[in-house]
């Protein structure tokens, strides 16, 4: 804080002093008692500003943490459906601007309802957590996003990735799930497996993000019908 001490006592002089950055304007001769009181008042202002700055930083940190937590799935600690939807729209628009290819990968745990019925829902939750970790371990690019889509379904958005590249990631994920070797007596494979659908395409003005998502879902459906524990791929504009 700045205090002016001046013998200029016209209103215009005081106005100019305050306009120049002064926080107070005292006329000479000045009482030491008054000056000391003014300085103490300015010190209180400094302390309040510092406290406000500290509080603002704490609130900003808390808001960032809240934003992070609201974007995560509570069970698996990966991104949730809402965050995935936001990222998909953002990446779709970016891909359209840059003319890049975008890929979507969908995953469904095979015979998971039967797994829950056999081993219980607590074991089912633990299974979902382990599979989420396994899927995440197969992704090594910072720009890719893995999310829990709902129930036993997972989804990933892979910006700037071709169909073959996304299919390779899906194959790595499938192997990671198989390596967990989680026993499942209700599966013909004897352990937990997962099926994958992959779709890729270039974002165009006449298309929507849901088009490529629907294509990946259809590819997943074909993988399930073909016997599960496999990867099917498609171009997003294919029927």
Just list the catalytic residues: 152
DSSP state of 138: T
> Looking up tokens 């300085």, which residue turns up?
39
SS3 assignment for 103-137: EEEEEEECCHHHHHHHHCHHHHHHHHHHHHHHHHH
Instruction: Tell me how far apart the alpha carbons of residues 191 and 234 are, in angstroms, rounded to a whole number.
Output: 27
Q: How many CB atoms lie within 10 A of CB 66?
A: 10
DSSP letter at 79 equals B
The residue behind tokens 């504009």 is 237
CA distance 112 to 119: 10
Closest residue by Cα to residue 103 from 54, 163, 44, 143: 163
* Contact between 55 and 63 (Cβ < 8 Å): no
């Amino acid at each position: 804080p700045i205090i002016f001490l001046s013998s200029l006592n016209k209103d215009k002089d005081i106005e100019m002093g305050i306009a120049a950055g002064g926080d107070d304007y005292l006329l000479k001769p000045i009482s030491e008692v008054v000056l000391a009181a003014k300085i103490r008042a300015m010190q209180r202002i400094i302390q309040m500003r510092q406290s406000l700055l500290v509080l603002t930083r704490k609130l900003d940190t808390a808001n960032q943490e809240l934003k992070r937590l609201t974007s995560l799935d509570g069970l698996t600690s990966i991104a949730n459906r809402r965050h995935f939807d936001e990222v998909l729209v953002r990446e779709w628009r970016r891909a359209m601007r840059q003319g890049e290819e975008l890929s979507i990968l969908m995953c469904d745990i095979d015979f998971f309802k039967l797994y829950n019925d056999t081993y219980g829902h607590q074991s089912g939750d633990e299974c979902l957590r382990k599979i989420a970790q396994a899927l995440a371990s197969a992704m090594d690019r910072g720009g890719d996003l893995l999310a829990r889509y709902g129930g036993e379904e997972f989804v990933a958005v892979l910006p700037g990735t071709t169909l073959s590249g996304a299919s390779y990631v899906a194959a790595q994920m499938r192997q990671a799930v198989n390596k967990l070797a989680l026993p499942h007596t209700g599966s013909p494979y004897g352990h937990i497996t997962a099926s994958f659908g992959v779709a890729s395409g270039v974002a165009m003005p006449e298309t929507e993000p849901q088009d490529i998502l629907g294509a990946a879902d259809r590819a997943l459906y074909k993988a399930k019908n073909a016997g599960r524990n496999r990867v099917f791929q498609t171009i997003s504009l294919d029927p």
